[in-house]
């Protein structure tokens, strides 16, 4: 098992460094630029944040969830859930 995180890009419509997914042992976190915008735990469903930004981040979110805006969650809820996972209180 690899203990170090891996990086890959997920959106071909932007510079690769602006659309990265970071994979740890139990969690994947998708970034738009330097902001986490989605995550999944151990292959579970992808949790995607609502678009609080502009068009480019919207393209990133659509690349992650196929444009399913109905399942995106508010930013405060997203940040709280991601923080719980990262610090292990979930």
Show me where the domains of the chain are located: 6-87
The phi, psi pair for 26, rounded to 5°, reads: -120, -5
Conformation bin of residue 33: beta by default, left when phi > 0, alpha when psi is -120 to 50: left
2-46 residue pLDDT tens: 678 888 888 877 777 788 899 988 899 999 998 999 999 987 999
DSSP letters spanning 56-88: HHHHHHHHHHTT-GGG-B-HHHHHHHHHHHHHT
Helix, strand, coil fractions of the chain, as percent rounded to 5? 35, 30, 40
Q: Give residue 1's pLDDT band: very low, low, confident or very high (50, 70, 90).
A: low
């Amino acid at each position: 098992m690899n203990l170090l995180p891996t990086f890959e890009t997920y959106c071909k419509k932007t510079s690769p460094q602006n659309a990265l997914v970071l994979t740890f042992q139990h969690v994947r976190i998708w970034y738009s630029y330097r902001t986490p915008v989605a995550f999944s735990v151990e292959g579970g469903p992808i949790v995607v944040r609502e678009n609080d930004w502009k068009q480019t981040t919207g393209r990133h979110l659509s690349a992650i969830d196929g444009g399913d805006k109905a399942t995106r969650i508010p930013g405060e809820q997203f940040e709280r859930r991601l923080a719980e996972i990262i610090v292990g209180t979930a």
